[in-house]
Amino acid sequence: MSDPRQELRDLTAAFRAHLEARARGGLLGVSLRPSPAPKPSPPSAEPDEPLTPYPTPPPVLYDEGQVMHSGRGLTALRAELGDCQRCKLARGRRHIVFGTGNPEANLMFVGEAPGADEDEQGEPFVGAAGQLLTKMIQAMGYEREEVYICNVIKCRPPGNRNPEPDEIAACEQFLRKQIAIVQPRVIVALGKFAAHFLCGETTPITRLRGNLRTFHEIPVMPTYHPAFLLRDTSRKGEAWSDLKQVMALLAHMGLR
């Protein structure tokens, strides 16, 4: 009779060898990042009802074998974007606004499009709305450098108008790749356009916000854009409620 314990050891060794071979080949079918040790969450982050545990979300595979995780991958992706001329926004922009923050962040914020300050500086969320976003991030217990921040489109629309469908279509591949490279555990969708793209539905943001969705099995929390909160401060409480859900979810994953 065979030894069950030896069979288990052989199976474990074969599985480990398989994972190591995938890692050497640059494949991302399994995330190799260890989760940090669990930390107690602040009392204000506790949900009203118990959360169903989320498994470690798989990365978003857009071209298996070609994704480089972390900073090298983002550098390569920025080079791929180049002096982008893929849509009409290229004619009026000053700078491409790619993204900023931790290339291995557990938490990603996705906005809609750059504004005038962002176009001037080439960095997302640096104007008045960006200052509010920074305060929101800090209230969650993070610094900007610990999260990753980007937009659905990378160039400013004229007069800060809404992004148009052809502009989103031309740019969406780069957002998908940013998500695949960073491999966030949770995404916060800021505003209607980010929420609609990541959630795959056109429900008004007033009804969609606060309701957890997924993007390729990564949890997505839709909430209001900081620019909207500057115009209607009465909604800040709702946005904070959404962010508290995110905090509780990250704590439930053992990431806070």
Looking at this protein, which amino acid is placed at residue 225?
H
Q: Where are the domains of the chain?
A: 68-252
Closest CA to 154 of 189, 182, 112: 112
Superfamily of domain 68-252: Uracil-DNA glycosylase-like domain (3.40.470.10)
Confidence of residue 27 (pLDDT cuts 50, 70, 90): very low
3-state helix, strand, coil in the chain (%, to 5): 45, 10, 45
In angstroms, the first-to-last Cα distance of the chain is 48
Provide the CB-side half-sphere exposure for 38 (13 A, CA). Answer: 8
- Write out pLDDT tens, residues 217-231: 999 999 999 999 999
- Write out pLDDT tens, residues 111-120: 999 999 999 9
Does residue 55 carry a pLDDT above 80?
no
pTM higher than 0.85 for the full model? no
Which residue is it, tokens 């409480």? 237
